[in-house]
Amino acid sequence: MTIVEVRLEANARVEQQLPPGYNGFVVVLEGGAMAGSPSTLVSEKQIAWLTLAAQASVLTLAAGTDGLRTLIFAGEPLRKPVAARVPFVMNTQAELDVGLAEFHSQGDRFGVPHKRQRWATHSASKKARETAPGQPHMSSTCLRAGRLCVRAASKLRLQGAH
């Protein structure tokens, strides 16, 4: 997985190498850039989606007159089912149900470990694995979470990163 923060001065340029089999996206936080090949304008608060490349590739970013601050997220696709219900991303509906039940039962203590909570989480995890055999429990990644969390922003799809 590759996660890179890029800060460029006005009219500067950078190239980011990406291994074979990676796809991902670029989130422009400030400024704007020409990205990809052929170059596509990506402005502040927009997301540019990278296409999957079978061979190694290079993502080129050329900052505009206001400079650029952006995040690049890239990695190998999970190729697993993804189930989402904000703020949770898991593999199955059963895992989502367990996560939401824990969230509602634990209130503002959700995610804060203590002895009883660890037992409840273990029991719930075991139940989720039993209801979804063969599926890893809570195997979401930053890429998946990022993809779902930023959907409200404008999106562009780059046809090639090289």
Tens of pLDDT, residues 70-115: 999 999 998 899 899 878 889 999 999 998 888 888 887 777 776 5
Segment 105-148, tens digit of pLDDT: 888 777 777 655 444 444 444 444 444 443 333 222 222 233 32
**CA dihedral angle for residue 89, residue 90, residue 96, residue 102, rounded to 10 degrees:** -80
All domains in the chain, ordered by first residue: 2-77+144-157 (2.60.120.10), 83-140 (no CATH)
**pLDDT for residue 75:** 94
Q: What is the dihedral of CA 89, 151, 72, 156, to 10 degrees?
A: 140
At 15 the pLDDT is 94
pTM of the model: 0.59
Residue 116 is predicted with a pLDDT of 54
